[in-house]
Chains A and B, each alone.
Chain A
Amino acid sequence: MSENSIATPPGTTSTFSAELRRVPGVAWILGLLVLVFALASRDFLSAPNLLNIGLQSVILLILALPMTMIIMTEGVDISMGAVLTLASVVLAWVLAHDGSLPLALAAALVTGLAFGVGNGMLVALLKMPPFVVTLGTMGVAQGLALLATDGQSIVVSNDSLQAVYAGSFMGIPQTLLIGAVVYALSHWLLYQTRFGTYVFALGGNPDALGLAGIRANYYLIAVYAFGGLMAGLAALILTSRMSSGHPTAAIGMEFDAIAAVVVGGTSFEHGNGWLFGTLLGVLAVGALRNGLNLLTVASSVQVSCIGLLVIVALLIDGFKGKK
């Protein structure tokens, strides 16, 4: 924050205690879910199951962290699932054509970054509504993925790819490590850099802060670019998990990410964002899905439960807001 020349935005002053005060909403939900599932299923708190929840949540977390920042700028990116899918197809295609894993990953990252920068430019420079822009680019990404694969899976038999999801580094599963690194990176970006300062300011009120200018645009583009880049990174885990690229694998996942962000307490207005809340939100979604599976709750009831989770989380935050 040392080189910060702009008035400190409200969010960045939040200390640990201020963050704690915000805990209840999502933490209550997560705590309640864990309690109920732990009582109802012997398996829920077992080490392999907790590891499962963690592993299953990483892709969603990698999307939800940049999504938190995008929502903080009063934007949204609904192309993320389609971009992730396209990047996964690109990654699988490069590997299937004897490319190396680093080359394939680079191709996936570039794909994601290109879409992110494109989204950002349309939003920032042309002042087009983020939902419409990303609705359009979602169609483009999804269409390209379908056309590139002719609707079929691209199967990859590459040991180093498989090792990404299944392998571990110094006893810790690599997928969890990637998630942790992305979390740390996001935290650093949002709370320690000028980039973060602008993210908070863009959502608060860009005009009042005298931010409407080339520099603000530059950072707005950067926020969407980060989102695209992370979608490219998530493609590595998704592709490794399936050992293949599939043209519809992650379609619609952006909505899960948005739900997790909102469950985590980030609001669509006023640039209130909270990365730790997003982490809890992602874990709440993961724990709910996992627990319902363990209890073999009928799938139609599971569908409704996910909607209820979102609505209940908003209700709790709404009531807290009134007090």
Chain B
Amino acid sequence: MNDAIASGRLMARLVDLKTIGYRLAAALAICLVLAAASDVFLTTNNLLNVLRQASLLFLLASGLTLVILTAGLDLSVGANIGMSACIAASVIKLTGSAMLGAATGVGVGLAIGLLNGVLVALMRMPPFIATYGMLWVVHGVTYWFMAGTTIYGFPAAFRALGSGYFLGLPIPVYLMFVFLALGSFFAQRTTYGQEIYAIGANREAARLSGVPIAKRLILVYAVSGAMAGLASLVFLARMNSAEGDIGEAFTLPAIAAALIGGTSLFGGVGTVSGTLVGALILTLVLNGMNLLTIDASWQPLVTGVIVLLAVFFDALTRKGGDGRQ
């Protein structure tokens, strides 16, 4: 049984490499077009901008990728960012301690994630709808907690997390690469990771080969929640202010980043590095539209078309030797 899983994994890894290759090529093509269309695109500052804007999206989408690998979904990540940021902000304001605030932010995110995990794994609720219910609950509590106020002005040490530089690179970009390495290692090189892929590929087979399904499911939702908490800190540090609704705009782009990166909603297929490329593609396009001063009304349309193109492309390349439906 384990042999079967292992050889399946090898095949999947080859497919993954190919899909990431295509996507990197697509990202490069977008870069070439933008470099031709705008003379400021290839400046160091602008490329750093793209990386910094992509890093926040990636932090959020990387945790989500693990969830989607189990054939699940977490619609509450945006609401999670809002609540984690607001509570972290008020803790920083009350105690003056950035560390305590940061710990609270990740803790709140983790708690929401755990709750999602319990609903999905132990109560057997469909992930889509359980996390949608959670979205409303979390929003309500956040709105009530904030009562329409804004919390702003944080210590410089904390702000560095979002807007600081180290050796010429923005700090969030380091976070992005750290979590790319951690996430890839976790997903590809540990037993946990293998089990997560196995759950998504075929839950019944995974159960039969002894994978503790419920524990692993709770784990991925908890990780996704904690990553949302972490993303909320980066966002908070960059914005220097917290409001009740700040996370809402991130949910669908984060899901889109994972999907553009080649992660399949059917589960079992996808990589954290693919999600990074997905986040880069989305960010590049939005950056390019801003540089070329294209009306923002085009954004939903363009995003939608990119999602469709990415999946359409997958559907075409998948024909023939497809193992997973």
Collect the chain A residues with CB atoms within 8 Å of residue B124's CB: 318, 321
Collect the chain B residues with CB atoms within 8 Å of residue A255's CB: 132
Hey, what's the 0/1 contact readout for B276-299 against A, CB within 8 Å counting as 1?
Answer: 000000000000000000000111
CB contact list, B210-268 vs A, under 8 A: 252, 255-256, 259, 264-266
Collect the chain A residues with CB atoms within 8 Å of residue B312's CB: 122, 126, 128
Collect the chain A residues with CB atoms within 8 Å of residue B256's CB: 135
Hey, what's the 0/1 contact readout for A111-144 against B, CB within 8 Å counting as 1?
Answer: 0000000000010001111011101111111111
A–B Cβ pairs within 8 angstroms, 12 of them: A122-B312, A128-B312, A136-B308, A259-B129, A302-B140, A304-B139, A304-B140, A304-B141, A308-B136, A309-B133, A314-B119, A318-B125
For A146, A147, A304, A305, the residue with the greatest tally of chain B CB atoms inside 10 Å of its CB is A304
User: Cα distance A150–B136 when bound, in Å?
Assistant: 30
A268 with B129: in contact, given A311-B119, A311-B134, A315-B123 (CB under 8 Å)? yes
Least CB distance, A215 to chain B, in whole angstroms? 18
A143 with B315: in contact, given A127-B325, A135-B307 (CB under 8 Å)? no
Say yes or no: is B305 at the interface (Cβ < 8 Å to chain A): yes
Q: How large is the interface on B (under 10, 10 to 19, 20 to 34, 35 or more residues)?
A: 35 or more
Q: Are B143 and A142 in contact (CB under 8 A)?
A: no
User: Cα distance A144–B140 when bound, in Å?
Assistant: 31
Say yes or no: is B301 at the interface (Cβ < 8 Å to chain A): yes
A147 with B133: in contact, given A268-B128, A302-B140, A314-B123 (CB under 8 Å)? no
Least CB distance, B240 to chain A, in whole angstroms? 24
Q: Are B126 and A262 in contact (CB under 8 A)?
A: yes
Say yes or no: is A47 at the interface (Cβ < 8 Å to chain B): no
User: Cα distance A309–B130 when bound, in Å?
Assistant: 11
Specify which of A76, A131, A303, A309 is in contact with B139 (CB 8 Å cutoff). Answer: A303
- Extra contacts, 8 of them, besides A132-B307, A141-B304 (Cβ < 8 A), are A76-B128, A126-B312, A128-B311, A136-B311, A143-B299, A151-B297, A259-B129, A318-B124
Say yes or no: is B166 at the interface (Cβ < 8 Å to chain A): no
Collect the chain B residues with CB atoms within 8 Å of residue A231's CB: none
Collect the chain A residues with CB atoms within 8 Å of residue B305's CB: 136, 139-140
Q: Are B129 and A305 in contact (CB under 8 A)?
A: no
A142 with B137: in contact, given A126-B312, A132-B265, A133-B308 (CB under 8 Å)? no
Main secondary structure of the interface of B (DSSP, over half): helix
Specify which of A146, A258, A310 is in contact with B297 (CB 8 Å cutoff). Answer: A146
Give the 4 A-B residue pairs with the shortest CB-CB distance, closest first.
A139-B304, A143-B301, A304-B140, A307-B136
Least CB distance, A84 to chain B, in whole angstroms? 15
Q: How large is the interface on A (under 10, 10 to 19, 20 to 34, 35 or more residues)?
A: 35 or more
A135 with B132: in contact, given A147-B297, A300-B143 (CB under 8 Å)? no
Using a CB–CB distance below 8 Å, which chain A residues touch chain B? 76, 122, 126-129, 131-133, 135-144, 146-147, 150-151, 255, 258-259, 262, 267-269, 298-311, 314-315, 318, 321
Specify which of A143, A262, A308, A309 is in contact with B300 (CB 8 Å cutoff). Answer: A143
Q: Are A139 and B141 in contact (CB under 8 A)?
A: no
Least CB distance, A170 to chain B, in whole angstroms? 39
CB contact list, B113-170 vs A, under 8 A: 119, 123-126, 128-130, 132-141, 143-144, 147
User: Cα distance A311–B73 when bound, in Å?
Assistant: 16
User: Cα distance A300–B143 when bound, in Å?
Assistant: 6
User: Cα distance A126–B237 when bound, in Å?
Assistant: 43
Collect the chain A residues with CB atoms within 8 Å of residue B265's CB: 129, 131-132
Say yes or no: is B302 at the interface (Cβ < 8 Å to chain A): yes
User: Cα distance A74–B300 when bound, in Å?
Assistant: 26
Q: Are B140 and A129 in contact (CB under 8 A)?
A: no
Chain B's closest residue to A139 (CB) is B304
Chain A's closest residue to B252 (CB) is A135
Say yes or no: is B194 at the interface (Cβ < 8 Å to chain A): no
User: Cα distance A147–B299 when bound, in Å?
Assistant: 10
Chain B's closest residue to A150 (CB) is B297
User: Cα distance A129–B318 when bound, in Å?
Assistant: 13
Q: Are A147 and B255 in contact (CB under 8 A)?
A: no
Collect the chain B residues with CB atoms within 8 Å of residue A131's CB: 73, 128, 265
Say yes or no: is B188 at the interface (Cβ < 8 Å to chain A): no
Collect the chain A residues with CB atoms within 8 Å of residue B123's CB: 314-315, 318
Say yes or no: is B202 at the interface (Cβ < 8 Å to chain A): no
Chain A's closest residue to B303 (CB) is A139
Specify which of B135, B266, B297 is in contact with A307 (CB 8 Å cutoff). Answer: B135
Least CB distance, B264 to chain A, in whole angstroms? 7
Q: Are B301 and A269 in contact (CB under 8 A)?
A: no
Q: Are B301 and A259 in contact (CB under 8 A)?
A: no
User: Cα distance A255–B304 when bound, in Å?
Assistant: 18
Specify which of B130, B143, B303 is in contact with A299 (CB 8 Å cutoff). Answer: B143
A129 with B132: in contact, given A307-B137, A307-B140 (CB under 8 Å)? no
User: Cα distance A151–B325 when bound, in Å?
Assistant: 40
Least CB distance, B158 to chain A, in whole angstroms? 27
Collect the chain A residues with CB atoms within 8 Å of residue B266's CB: 129
